[in-house]
Chain A
Amino acid sequence: MTGMDHDALREAAGLYVLGALVGDERQAFDAHLATCAECQADVRALGGVVRALPYAVPQVDPPPALRGRVLAAVGGETSRAAVAGAATRVRSSLALGGWLSAAALLVMSAGLGAYAYSLRERMSGLERQLRAAVERLDRSEQELVAAKGAADRAQLRLAVLTAPDMKQVELAGQAPAPRAAGRAFWSRANGLLFTANQLPPLPAGRTYQLWFLTPGAPVSAGVLKPDANGRVTAAFDAPGDAVAPTGLAVSIEPEGGVLAPTGAIYLAGLSH
């Protein structure tokens, strides 16, 4: 284990205690946890927080009938008595058959056969309707998830726009793209909202990357993916506390982005 492992893995402790870490990430954290007392302490402390969360849920009384259902489900006296009762009823209907004539039984079973057939027909009709209803429900559930995602994102963006420390930056097109323009809103607490238009189409293997300009070296905010019309709107995390941005710039970089800008500047603007 190296110090670098520890620093990188330690950040994941929150995801871990929430059960949101899966696959390789989870395995790597588990392996590190086994040998790292500091991370064990983190997991204990943050785990306590997670256990507190259910107590923050608004408390609702369960319906009174649920108690009986819970107790009946574990095979209390009630359910055994119900089964015994049903068996008695079956036996008495067989006894009834004993004194009916064979002819009467024949007529009855023919009638029952037809009745059973029509029941089966109705049942499969109902099953079809049920399947259709379930499919509709599934679709609306998925639409709901999509809508909720959009609402969550909109809420995050609104938080930037209404933050008390919100700053606005206008970005002007530079030599390679004089018609391009951009605008950014950012808040240290709530992140960065960026929008731009008229960005020229990218050559293959290249990407636009957004930078915080600082008194020192520029700090990457992330990569931008404009649509076919050169428009892009995206949200980013605010820079760390150590960074005091004086402006923003967009440059063209190799795909995936780079740690420090290397390509031509397409948009730039200073914070007011």
Chain B
Amino acid sequence: MWLLWAVVASHPGATAADHTALERMARGDSDGLAELYDRHGRLVYSLALRILRDQGDAEDVVQEVFSQAWRQASRYQASRGNVVAWLMNLARSRAIDRLRGRRSRPEPVADASAVVEMPDLAQPVDEQLALSGRAEQIRSAVDELSLLQRVAIELAFYEGLTHAEIAERLELPLGTVKTRIRQGLLKLKDRLAGAI
């Protein structure tokens, strides 16, 4: 299943086709949305499910993400950015929003939105194709991190915890969390050299 998915997702031209689909959506053609959903719905759903661990909530997030993509299609299409990276960002912030709401946790200090926005990182167009073919490699690289590095990165990425919240959860000094997260990401970068 993994291999099949990698082959399907890394179909050449997916990025160009994504922009064509967005163009159609911007014109109000819902077939464009259907196409985008058929190509990336599974990736969006899997990420939401991993974050929320609840099928109903994950389904709601998928619907919200594609509705938002529909509304903002023309604006995003003009930016020529990477469509999957955009969908993933929408999915992650909506899922974490919901997770925080579910836990009725206080918001991070002085932050208007529930989830901390990821910095806007421009993604090379071909990167997504390379990534989707390397799913196994990415997963085994994550497994090779030290436990502390992996847990700290996962708490930030999948639970949207802030620096202070991770330190509190793991009962570790702030500096340790900061260092271990950086070391972990650097190690992943080395292991994935070529894939990203």
Q: Which positions in A face B, CB cutoff 8 Å?
A: 11-23, 25-26, 43-63, 66-67, 69-71, 73-74, 76, 138, 141-142, 145, 149, 152-153, 155-156, 159, 189-191, 222, 234-237
Contacts and interface: CB of A to CB of B under 8 A. Distances in A.
> What DSSP secondary structure best describes chain B's contact surface?
helix
Contact of A56 (B118, B142, B177): B142
Which residue, B50, B59, B119, B156, has most C-beta atoms of chain A within 10 A? B119
B160 A19 contact: yes
Contacts of B110: 22-23
A21 B118 CA distance: 9
B171 A55 contact: no
Interface residues of B, number: 86
B157 A51 contact: no
A149 B161 CA distance: 12
A74 B49 contact: no
Contacts of A26: 116
29 contacts: A14-B185, A18-B185, A19-B117, A19-B160, A20-B166, A22-B109, A22-B110, A25-B163, A48-B196, A49-B188, A50-B157, A51-B121, A51-B127, A51-B131, A56-B135, A59-B1, A59-B42, A62-B58, A67-B38, A70-B33, A73-B67, A74-B66, A74-B70, A138-B102, A155-B147, A156-B170, A190-B148, A222-B173, A237-B175
Nearest to B182: A14
A48 B131 CA distance: 10
B182 A13 contact: yes
Contact of B119 (A47, A55, A61, A189): A47
A152 B169 contact: yes
Interface in B98-112: 102-104, 108-111
A155 B118 contact: no
Interface of B: 1-2, 5, 30, 33-34, 37-38, 41-43, 45-47, 49-50, 55, 58-59, 62-63, 66-67, 70, 85, 88, 92, 102-104, 108-111, 115-119, 121, 123, 127, 131-132, 134-135, 138-139, 141-142, 146-148, 151, 153, 155-157, 160-164, 166, 169-173, 175-186, 188-189, 192, 195-196
B189 A53 contact: no
Contact of B62 (A70, A74, A149): A70
